[in-house]
A and B are shown apart, each in its own frame.
Chain A
Amino acid sequence: MSTVIDLSHVAEAAPGRSIGQKPPDDVLLDVRGLKTYFHVLDGTVPAVDGVDFQIKRGETLGLVGESGCGKSVTSLTIMRLIDIPPGEIAAGEIWFDGVDILSLSPSEMRDIRGSEMSMIFQEPMTSLNPVFTVGYQIAEAVKAHRNVSKNSARDRAIEMLAAVGIPSPERRFKQYPHELSGGMRQRVMIAMALSCDPKLIIADEPTTALDVTIQAQILELMKSIQERTGTALLLITHDLAVVAETVERIAVMYAGRIVEAGTAEEVLLDPKHPYTQGLIASIPSTVPRGQRLNVIKGTVPNPFRMPTGCRFEPRCPHAFGPCKDFDPPLRLTGPNRESACWLQYPPGELPVKETDAPPATPVPVERVGH
């Protein structure tokens, strides 16, 4: 695993990170070259195809991208909740709190899941079990990880319900999910996720299914809890407005890869990757009234026929020379700022297609020796 094909670009893209090596202590989550494939009847879908990103302790990262780009699969892979088969974690490392969790046994992973890292899902309406009271479901999470009595698990659940702003928590404890509104249920999910003081919370589109007014409340709640407890947050969303308000750093995902990363401000105000530029331009409020809304032309590539070059090339308004044949790796374009686009490379470093000579090794795409 320690064989790295070509470190020149990797070293530049991610200083101090190499395969098989424990990340520094201040890094809570380090995802490296992660590939999650699904083997289905028609072939293999590379839902996540070489994803790299880091979250420092207490940091908030927004993972942004349109539907089907692999955001949710990335988060489920980090939780190791992918069904294997049909899923397969084909390559990569996930360092969490100093441990590569892909090397853990299922029972070791269970101890982390819901305790060290927990998850909030998109659908509060269906994510709670209809036949158990919400209090029972929170207390169950506490009891799974802490050696506590039934009563103290109950007290902890009520305390958590109060912490997420649910009025009269003792009464709510005994209620069933169907007696609660969508916003209340999402609060319950948050209470459940927080119940064991996790180091990382993964929130997969936590506000998408909610009313706009409730969305703001839930985001506000998550932000205040994050500030209060100092837990790290991975917020997955397709909504740039949501990340703009909530997170410190943004990673933009496209077709199973990270294409751009940086602080929220940098990425939103000065997007380097044409895909990010397109995403920001297509926010309706950026368009003057009466004008046509901006769209990114075309659709996401067919997962069975990924472009050989840059995956965004077929839709990219700035595509040029190397884009069709060579896949750009992430490149450091500033301190803590990465972009996977040939536009960010000096002309001298661009790969050139050689037609007569045997195909030259293109600029390496992969960092893992597979």
Chain B
Amino acid sequence: MLRFIVRRVLGAIPVLFGLSVILFLFLRLLPGGGPAVAILGQHATPQLIAQINETQGFDHPLYVQYLDYLGRLFRGDFGASVIDGRTVAESFAIRFPATVELTIGALIFAVGLGIPLGRLAARHPNSWIDGVVTAISLFGISIPVFVLGYTLTFFFAVQLHWLPAFGQIDPRLNVPPVTHFAIIDALLAGNWYVVDAVAHLILPSIALGSIPLAVITRITRASVIDVSNEDYVRTARAKGLTDRRVNSRHIMRNAWLPVTTVIGLQVGALLAGAVLTETVFTWNGVGSWVVTSIQNHDYIVVQSLILIFATIFLTVNLIVDVGYAFLNPRIRYS
């Protein structure tokens, strides 16, 4: 098991190296007068260009720049925004917790609803129940996130006033940011502020979770049906086990395998920024940060964020693979 993990970690290193080269070159080789011009855009003046070239080291030879860049990466220095001067690490520490919170919310929604729905549909294949579940998942996967987001806001926030429309917590509560996880900070502040933080999380979680919900439902349904037809399920029934035990142990332990993979892929994608959802709900996470950075031509930030996202994605996949090996003894030793 340990060897398996070590091998997977070592396998991720060349991927990250390759990506760092591509990202590095992507900024340096932008057409139209070099990186300084790309960053400055219409505001480019010879003085400013010279200044940026100086501070960012764009005037050195490419290989020197790359080694320099790599060296800084190893020291955990991801550069700073040319707009507000904040380091990427600093802003990331503030924004990433928000994205993590949203991801967890969306996952709770998608997994908590998707797996029961998938199992329900699998138990009655081709029945009206299956039809309803299929309709829900088709709806979830085909409706654009911003349409669903604004629709939810319109009904549950604007019309019904049940839930807040945007943000992570009511700013009037003046919850001091300690961890930058709105829910944890609200808990620390006491006074049941946490209820407000959770209420803020509900609508964005549903909007963001709609596609994962659809995918997880479909995969669960297919996987459970698939496993139910396996010979070993018949063996389990022939042993005289109760249907419940056959379902929950013999079928689900196997059906989990593809479902785990899909959930892992979804988590990786969600953590890398829910760009649309964060924009719709003014959620101060990394997704909206990417959008503003691109709009501001803040390429140093974009470059670092993509590398961070790739690392997160690889890490999540690694965790999924380890979990998979744990669930499936057949691949543990291979």
Q: What residues of B have a CB within 8 angstroms of the CB of A130 in the complex?
A: 232, 254, 328-330
B237: nearest chain-A partner, CB-CB = A81
A101 to B241, CA, bound (A): 17
- B residues 215-234 near A (Cβ < 8 Å) are 230-232, 234
Q: What residues of B have a CB within 8 angstroms of the CB of A131 in the complex?
A: 253-254, 327-329
Interface residue A118 (Cβ < 8 Å from any Cβ of B): yes
| Shortest CB distance B332–A (Å) | 9
Q: What residues of A have a CB within 8 angstroms of the CB of B245 in the complex?
A: 144
A331 to B5, CA, bound (A): 69
| Shortest CB distance A181–B (Å) | 15
Interface residue B179 (Cβ < 8 Å from any Cβ of A): no
Q: How many A-B residue pairs have CB under 8 A?
A: 71
User: Is B250 within 8 A of A129, CB to CB?
Assistant: yes
Interface size of B as a range: 20 to 34
User: Is B238 within 8 A of A126, CB to CB?
Assistant: no
A128 to B234, CA, bound (A): 10
Q: How many residues of A contact B (CB 8 A)?
A: 28
| Shortest CB distance A108–B (Å) | 11
User: Is B235 within 8 A of A121, CB to CB?
Assistant: yes
A141's partner among B239, B328, B329 (CB-CB below 8 A) is B239
| Shortest CB distance B217–A (Å) | 23
Q: What residues of A have a CB within 8 angstroms of the CB of B254 in the complex?
A: 129-131
Interface residue A132 (Cβ < 8 Å from any Cβ of B): yes
Q: What residues of B have a CB within 8 angstroms of the CB of A111 in the complex?
A: 240
B236: nearest chain-A partner, CB-CB = A129
- Return the CB mask of A189-228 against B: 1 if under 8 Å, else 0: 1001000000000000000000000000000000000000
B239's partner among A123, A126, A144, A176 (CB-CB below 8 A) is A144
| Shortest CB distance B12–A (Å) | 27
Interface residue A65 (Cβ < 8 Å from any Cβ of B): no
Interface residue B142 (Cβ < 8 Å from any Cβ of A): no
User: Is B328 within 8 A of A113, CB to CB?
Assistant: no
A-B contact pairs, 11 of them (CB 8 A): A114-B241, A119-B238, A121-B234, A121-B235, A127-B235, A129-B236, A130-B330, A132-B250, A137-B235, A140-B239, A178-B330
Interface residues of A (CB under 8 A from B): 79, 81, 110-115, 118-119, 121, 123, 126-132, 137, 140-141, 144-145, 176, 178, 189, 192
Interface residues of B (CB under 8 A from A): 230-232, 234-242, 245, 250, 253-254, 327-330
